[in-house]
Structure 1
């Protein structure tokens, strides 16, 4: 996907520090103070334009959400959604997910969402997949025991790879769906990609993986 450059994006992000949090390293272990409550914290890695996370924030006001997106020309759309709807329980980090463990303390999070991530289909790019074992280790550090990964994709190959990766790492698989929109799963919030793919009749794969 080619990103359209938006030279004003950095300024807009800087003008909204209560939504896109600057210097998140300083917040490790202190996110509950920023949200001003002790509600559970869930994150989405690669949050894109924020349709999923803003929808989750509106549907679940008793949960705090943080979206991580490294491209500033993308995250500003998520910022605008939160600002326009005055959503108080959703924040964003304009950062790389590979740095996850310096932004959050051990066990500070309860859930990680991975939605329609780049499948990186070539074998030599395996380590870039967000369900690769090195990333699973990062998620485990910030969630600890009983932490959950909720994963959705339209890519069958990535889904099969991820199921194997989760199982090999020792995670417990729950609610595995090979066709989400024809299942009995309730409360699904769609991402931009999910909405586009489902309108074309494409199958959506979903699963939950829990640390022991």
Structure 2
């Protein structure tokens, strides 16, 4: 998701440094970013923040950290955190390729990937967030019983991800090819999800562990 560039975006985020880490201040010390020492779930690619802020509101006993590369998007996420007065959700301006530089090994309880860029061209395979180098990062930062949850409407990316994860030796706990048919109670619709579903696109979800 790309937004119009806001020249003041970085300054805005820095004024809310209690919610947004834009300089990797908490790299290696993520627990210091939060008021309470609780399980940690991360979302790689926040969208406009509906998913992660809803999770945080519904689960005050879990800490949530949204990872996003676009500072303009993070403005809206921070605004939602402030609107809801949430204490257990933060954001970090971070490239997904740098997860192992930010988190310690065995630190994260769950990773969410929601409607990631499919990068459909073969030459861009290494950019897909379910490519083996990213899977290696998730495995490193996740606890032994941690899980990866992945949602998309893109059939090609979903099929690619199933093969990539299987080849990596992951164990599938759920593979749902039509999530909104008998939609599970634990599903929280992202902005993209609502948009694509309204157009008739099937939403796919999988849950897996290493």
Per the normalisation by structure 1, the TM-score is 0.94
Give the aligned partner of residue 100 of structure 1: 99
Residue in 1 that maps onto 2:117: 118
What is the rounded CA distance, in whole Å, between the counterparts of 1:54 and 1:99 in structure 2?
23
Alpha-carbon separation, structure 2, partners of 1:134 and 1:32? 25
SS for the counterpart of 1:148 is strand
Mapped partners of 1:107, 1:46: distance in 2: 21
Change in Cα spacing, 1:20 to 1:26, as seen in structure 2 (3 Å) is closer
Pairing 1:21-100 to 2, within 5 Å after superposition: 21-24=21-24, 26-28=26-28, 30-100=29-99
Structure 1: runs of 5 or more not aligned: none
Shift of the alpha carbon at 1:22?
3.9
In structure 2, the gaps of 5 or more residues are none
More strand by share: 2
* Alignment partners' CA distance in 1, 2:204 and 2:24: 32
Alpha carbons of 1:60 and 1:5: their partners in 2 closer, same or farther (altered >3 Å)? same
On the 8 A contact 1:25/1:102 being kept in 2, the answer is no
Contact 2:54 2:188 in 1 (8 A): yes
- Aligned ranges for residues 11-22 of structure 1 at < 5 Å? 11-22=11-22
Cα offset, 1:26, TM superposition: 4.1
Q: Tell me the distance in 1 between the aligned counterparts of 2:137 and 2:125.
A: 16
Structure 2 residue matching 1:207: 3-state secondary structure: strand
Q: How far did residue 132 of structure 1 move? A: 0.3
Q: 1:194 to 1:55 in 2, by over 3 A?
A: same
Note if 1:163 corresponds to 2:158.
no
C-alpha RMSD of the superposition: 1.4
Partner of 1:6: 6
Partner Cα distance (2:94, 2:31) in 1 = 20
Q: Judging changes above 3 Å, is the alpha-carbon distance between structure 1 residues 196 and 182 closer, same or farther for their aligned structure 2 residues?
A: same
Give secondary structure in 2 for the equivalent of 1:42: strand
- Provide, for residues 35-80 of structure 1, a one-character-per-residue CA deviation record: whole Å limited to 9, x for no partner: 2323110101011211110011011111100000011111100010
Q: Which runs of 4+ in 1 moved over 3 A?
A: none
Shift of 1:160: 0.4
CA distance in 1, matches of 2:25, 2:165: 28
* Alignment partner, residue 176 of structure 1: 175
Number of aligned residue pairs: 210
CA distance in 2, matches of 1:48, 1:33: 25
